[in-house]
């Protein structure tokens, strides 16, 4: 049973990683980001300890969620860069600034709404304790990655 679970998970990870590698490389992201995402999924599945079917459903939903989050974040970043460019050039009038700020805030609200919807969608495959483990894991994993990046930056200076 565990061999089947591991085989299915490896297959899902391989397919999703191959798909995301092409997409990320086209967006200028490096191989390290893909390896980090792969590590995160492996550690996450170990932490959640889901059955085979639930793991497969979870990975599909997680990939879809991350893709949507990345798309919205990209749009938000583009709006921020456009606003920054106009402000830098001194050509940003109040109407333009208001529109861009409202657009940026709308993207942020959409990100939060999408995250809430994703977490609520897990109720059919996880109990509240497992969902809590997921939320805590994500927070701690990101914190650990940020801390490690800070260490590396300060040691390289």
Q: pLDDT tens digits, residue range 107-143?
A: 999 999 999 999 999 999 999 999 999 999 999 999 9
Question: Residue 11 pLDDT more than 90?
Answer: no
Task: Report the pLDDT value the prediction gives residue 65, as an integer from 0 to 100.
Answer: 97
Helical ranges in 29-123 per DSSP H = 31-48, 52-89, 94-121
Write down the residue that tokens 């299915």 correspond to.
8
The token pair that represents 32 in the structure block: 């390290």
Handedness of CA 6, 145, 123, 61 (dihedral sign): negative
If one counts every other C-beta atom within 10 angstroms of the C-beta of residue 23, the result is 13
């Amino acid at each position: 049973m565990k061999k089947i679970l591991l085989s299915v998970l490896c297959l899902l990870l391989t397919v999703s990683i191959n798909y995301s590698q092409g997409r990320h490389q086209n967006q200028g992201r490096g191989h390290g980001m893909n390896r980090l995402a792969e590590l995160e999924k492996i550690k996450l599945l170990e932490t959640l300890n889901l059955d085979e079917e639930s793991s497969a459903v979870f990975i599909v939903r997680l990939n879809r969620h991350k893709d949507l989050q990345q798309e919205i974040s990209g749009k938000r970043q583009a709006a921020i860069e456009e606003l920054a460019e106009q402000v830098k050039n001194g050509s940003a009038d109040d109407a333009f600034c208001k529109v861009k700020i409202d657009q940026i805030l709308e993207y942020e609200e959409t990100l939060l709404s999408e995250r809430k919807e994703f977490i609520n969608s897990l109720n059919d495959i996880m109990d509240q304790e497992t969902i809590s483990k997921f939320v805590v894991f994500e927070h701690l994993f990101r914190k650990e990655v940020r801390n490690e990046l800070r260490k590396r930056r300060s040691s390289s200076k």
